């Protein structure tokens, strides 16, 4: 039987195969189906070689290939940061597999495989929530280019996608083992169940697709893409030139029905105190634009500072030579006629670039090579919603990296956001898969929250995304311009918004139970041995 040839494959071959399948299946490759059996070569290796085999070295190679093949573009912004991110993430991803190897000493293969799944889901949940978070490769993100078939993310979030991928991989693996053992009927039932599960979820997705409703033209939103190279914009354009470009693109795009204009991350780059921006000379054309169009809310990324006097009011506060404490912020601001600016300070900071956990402070000189602010930006404690009492277009200001955190984004919706405004600058990575993946992940937030998304990206891709996760309109990479669309403010609260990452949390509870039982069995075994 051809399947017996798996026995003859060198572990290195199986390792390479898993790594390449994971890589080739990532968004924008049109090979998403590969995720449904990408783990199978490693699972076959573990089954064939037994509990004593040094599996982890081959698992590590697969994960290294996956991390390198999908996030190599980080090199365009920082070589050291790319290497560090790939190596650290690969190492962390090995932990669930290491746990699986430990479980095999005291549990059956089936229970150990179940433990592997809950360990992996627990790892993904931790990686979404701790201080060195880098959840770019959460498995559920890999389905972001087939949004029509994952409408059930409205209930499960990306955790449901990760779980599905593992279930299908295990069913394929057990089918292959059953065939090898001559259990043809069992293999048939297992593969049939896998196909049934996929078909069922596709059917459910078709039923969950929200209807496309016509929207009144009075809710036009404009998204601006200035296309300023982040590496050269201060060399080729003065601050005044940058502001003028943003204002002119906005003026050219708006009409009498426009209620909102969105600019990208750090578009207002003349860093100043938050209390001082209304008198900042560089920003006067912006305030003139706002006052000339009183029906428009302007939302923009901005770099700001906030003073606290001689008191260290926050954990991230810095101290000037004069003894004054302050915070620096990668922020968003809402500007409306005859109103004071409203700020939101980015809360999900990029590790090493925008923040450095306290336990890594001693490595600050190393992390400085990442670029950014290793001293740490300040953050907002709560989700701030930019409200418009007249139109009820209440925007969630989501800054760049924050858009990959599903449960975090739900906080805006719980606070009254009727649409999501994503401001980002993906120009640091150049024209690579990085900016495309980032756009695709935004589609998942639309499904989870059932909210329209207006995405302003400095160099692209800017887009409007409907609550089905479909891109309705976009402005291509490396293009200057603006796009306009009438979008509604949604009021529905989805199951995922209400309850968040239930699958991840349940997995973490089961994983904790496995760990407790493992140590109990280990201690019992040790007592019997003595």
pLDDT tens digit sequence for 2-50: 455 666 678 999 999 999 999 999 987 778 999 999 999 999 999 998 8
The predicted structure's pLDDT at residue 373: 38
**Two structure tokens written together for 213:** 């409703």
The predicted structure's pLDDT at residue 51: 83
**Two structure tokens written together for 337:** 């006629």
Q: Which of 156-165, 197-206, 225-234, 329-338 comes out lowest in average pLDDT?
A: 225-234
**Two structure tokens written together for 64:** 């290294």
The predicted structure's pLDDT at residue 353: 65
Class at the top of the CATH hierarchy for domain 217-304+330-491: alpha beta
The predicted structure's pLDDT at residue 1: 43
pLDDT of residue 391 exceeding 60, the answer is yes
pLDDT of residue 370 exceeding 60, the answer is no
The predicted structure's pLDDT at residue 3: 53
Contacts with 187 (C-beta within 8 Å, 6 or more apart), sequence order:
174, 175, 176, 178, 179
pLDDT of residue 214 exceeding 80, the answer is no
Please return the burial class of 202, using the count of CB atoms within 10 Å of its CB with bins 0-12, 13-18 and 19+.
middle
The predicted structure's pLDDT at residue 360: 53
Between residues 5 and 332, the one the model is more confident about: 332
The predicted structure's pLDDT at residue 234: 64
**What is the pTM for the complete model shown?**
0.92
Of 336, 345, 326, which is closest to residue 265 (Cα–Cα)?
A: 345
Q: Mean per-residue pLDDT for 497-520?
A: 95
Could you tell me if 337 and 117 are in contact, meaning their C-beta atoms sit under 8 angstroms apart? no
The secondary structure of residue 362, as a DSSP letter, is: G
Could you tell me if 486 and 220 are in contact, meaning their C-beta atoms sit under 8 angstroms apart? yes
pLDDT by residue (tens digit) across 288-310? Answer: 999 999 999 999 999 999 888 88
Between residues 395 and 326, the one the model is more confident about: 395
Of 370, 394, 374, 369, which is closest to residue 384 (Cα–Cα)?
A: 394
Q: Which of 100-104, 229-233, 252-256, 425-429 comes out lowest in average pLDDT?
A: 229-233
The predicted structure's pLDDT at residue 365: 47
| Boundaries of every domain in the chain | 2-209+501-529, 217-304+330-491
Q: Mean per-residue pLDDT for 333-339?
A: 93
pLDDT of residue 376 exceeding 50, the answer is yes
Q: Mean per-residue pLDDT for 495-517?
A: 96
- What string of H, E and C letters represents the secondary structure of 368-382? HHHCCCCCCCCCCCC
pLDDT of residue 362 exceeding 60, the answer is no
pLDDT of residue 316 exceeding 80, the answer is no
pLDDT of residue 433 exceeding 80, the answer is yes
């Amino acid at each position: 039987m051809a399947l017996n040839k798996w026995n003859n494959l060198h572990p290195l071959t199986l390792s390479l195969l898993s790594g390449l399948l994971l890589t080739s299946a990532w968004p924008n490759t049109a090979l998403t189906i590969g995720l449904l059996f990408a783990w199978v070569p490693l699972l076959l290796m573990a089954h064939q070689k037994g509990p004593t085999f040094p599996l982890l070295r081959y698992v590590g190679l697969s994960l290294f290939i996956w991390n390198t093949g999908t996030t190599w573009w980080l090199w365009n912004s920082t070589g050291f940061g790319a290497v560090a991110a790939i190596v650290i993430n690969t190492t962390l991803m090995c932990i669930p597999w290491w746990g699986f190897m430990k479980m095999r000493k005291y549990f059956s293969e089936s229970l150990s495989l179940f433990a592997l799944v809950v360990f992996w889901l627990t790892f993904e949940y931790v990686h979404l929530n701790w201080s060195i978070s880098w959840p770019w490769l959460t498995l559920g993100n890999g389905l972001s280019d087939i949004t029509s078939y994952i409408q059930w993310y409205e209930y499960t979030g990306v955790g449901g996608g990760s779980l599905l991928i593992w279930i299908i991989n295990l069913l394929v693996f057990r089918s292959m083992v059953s065939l090898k053992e001559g259990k043809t009927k069992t293999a048939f039932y297992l593969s049939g169940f896998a196909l049934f599960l996929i078909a069922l979820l596709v059917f459910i997705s078709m039923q969950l697709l929200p209807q496309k409703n016509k929207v009144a033209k009075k809710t036009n939103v404009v998204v601006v893409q200035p296309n300023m190279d982040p590496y050269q914009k201060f060399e080729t354009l003065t601050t005044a030139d940058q502001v003028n470009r943003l204002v002119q693109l906005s003026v050219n795009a708006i009409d009498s029905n426009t209620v909102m204009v969105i600019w990208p991350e750090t578009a207002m780059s003349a860093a100043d105190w938050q209390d001082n921006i209304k008198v900042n000379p560089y920003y006067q054309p912006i305030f003139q634009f706002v006052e000339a169009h009183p029906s428009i809310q302007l939302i923009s990324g901005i770099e700001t500072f906030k003073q606290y006097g001689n008191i260290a009011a926050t954990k991230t506060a810095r101290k000037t030579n004069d003894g004054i404490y302050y915070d620096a912020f990668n922020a968003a601001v809402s500007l409306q006629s005859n109103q004071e600016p409203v700020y939101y300070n980015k809360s999900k900071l990029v590790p090493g670039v925008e923040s450095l956990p306290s336990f890594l402070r001693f490595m600050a000189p190393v992390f400085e090579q990442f670029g950014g602010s290793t001293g740490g930006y300040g953050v907002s404690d709560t989700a701030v919603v930019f409200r418009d009492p007249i139109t009820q277009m209440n925007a969630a200001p989501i800054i760049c990296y924050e858009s990959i955190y599903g449960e975090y984004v739900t906080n805006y919706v719980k606070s009254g956001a009727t649409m999501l405004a994503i401001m980002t600058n993906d120009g640091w990575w150049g024209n690579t898969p990085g900016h495309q993946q980032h756009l695709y992940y935004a589609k998942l937030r639309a499904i989870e929250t059932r909210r329209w998304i207006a995405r302003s990206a400095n160099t692209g891709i800017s887009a409007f995304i409907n609550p089905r996760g479909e891109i309705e309109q976009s402005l291509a990479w490396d293009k200057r311009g603006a796009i306009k669309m009438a979008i509604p403010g949604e009021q529905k609260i989805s199951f995922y918004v209400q309850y968040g990452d239930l699958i991840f949390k349940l997995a973490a509870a089961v994983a904790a139970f496995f760990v407790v039982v493992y140590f109990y069995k280990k201690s019992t075994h040790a007592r019997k041995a003595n």
